Homo-oligomer: A and B are copies of this chain.
Amino acid sequence: MKLSELGEFGLIEIIQSIAEKSQNPRYDSWRRLLVGIGDDTAAWQAGDYIELATTDTLVQGVHFNLNVISWKELGWKALAVNLSDIAAMGGIPVYALLSLALPQDLEVENVTDFCHGLAELANQFEVAIIGGNLASSPDVVITITIIGFSKSNRILKRSTAVPGEQIAVTGFLGLSSAGLKMLQKKTTLDNETTNILRQAHLRPTPRIKEGQLLLQRGVNTAIDISDGLIADLDHICQASKVNAQIKIDRVPVHPLVKVYSLNQGVCRGQLNIIAGLPGSGVIANAD
């Protein structure tokens, strides 16, 4: 069977089952583990706090298009998608490792711009870039690993939702998707709209503070919804074994997205915001 037939989540299940076959409570590693494969980050007990680690890869032509995104924006975004996973656990990011696979005929200046974009966001969240790897490759492949921790010795998980809870999201939905569509189709909009949509897609702000606030307020469940509200709410439902109901008119879609959807004839479904499937929990998003 080909990977395309099995799909991403089928493959994750296989990898998880192989990894967990080695599970041994006598090993220090497994004994301290709190969350393994299948949440936004892994988590383990490290002394009197919980430590978190997550990794995310962006592949040229698959996750980004260098005709659309600048190198500086790419550096920012590559870090942002990782920080967003830490945010969804209610964690604080601390260290970043940067692995770059790059074509040898690339201009050094591009990589410098990339690093400046990455460092700008890292600095904003007091994250230190402490190591990584350089490799030669036909396409640009960026892998960032973030190590963080939870101050409160609690974390937000996917598997803790219970019936009766409310579903909430941070911020408006759909802006990032609308930004992507606008950039792909080279749609001409007024300057302010263009700027807001572009920033939403290319310079998302990780919800680090919001994640911690949720923890402080006693929330137990969250997920990064960069895959879209429905797909990611479904992950909470699966992990927590609950159903969910969404009232579509209560989903906070940004006014610009509504305008844009009508103007461009793009249905909201394509912008990942149509609702009505299973789910219960509290949701944090990065866009």
Contacts and interface: CB of A to CB of B under 8 A. Distances in A.
Interface of A: 1-4, 6, 8, 11-12, 14-15, 18-19, 21-24, 27-30, 33, 35-37, 41-42, 44, 46-48, 51, 53-59, 61-63, 94-95, 97-99, 101-109, 111-112, 115-116, 119, 122-123, 126-139, 141, 143, 145, 147
13 contacts: A2-B106, A3-B107, A14-B108, A22-B122, A23-B128, A42-B97, A44-B95, A46-B46, A56-B99, A56-B133, A61-B138, A138-B139, A147-B147
Contacts of A21: 119
Contact of A128 (B2, B19, B63, B143): B19
Contacts of A22: 119, 122-123, 128-129
Contact of A119 (B8, B19, B108, B115): B19
Given A3-B103, A6-B108, A15-B115, 18 more contacts: A2-B105, A2-B108, A3-B102, A3-B111, A8-B134, A15-B98, A19-B129, A24-B123, A27-B126, A47-B47, A56-B99, A62-B136, A101-B141, A137-B141, A138-B139, A143-B143, A145-B145, A147-B147
Given A18-B116, A24-B126, A95-B29, A131 B101 contact: no
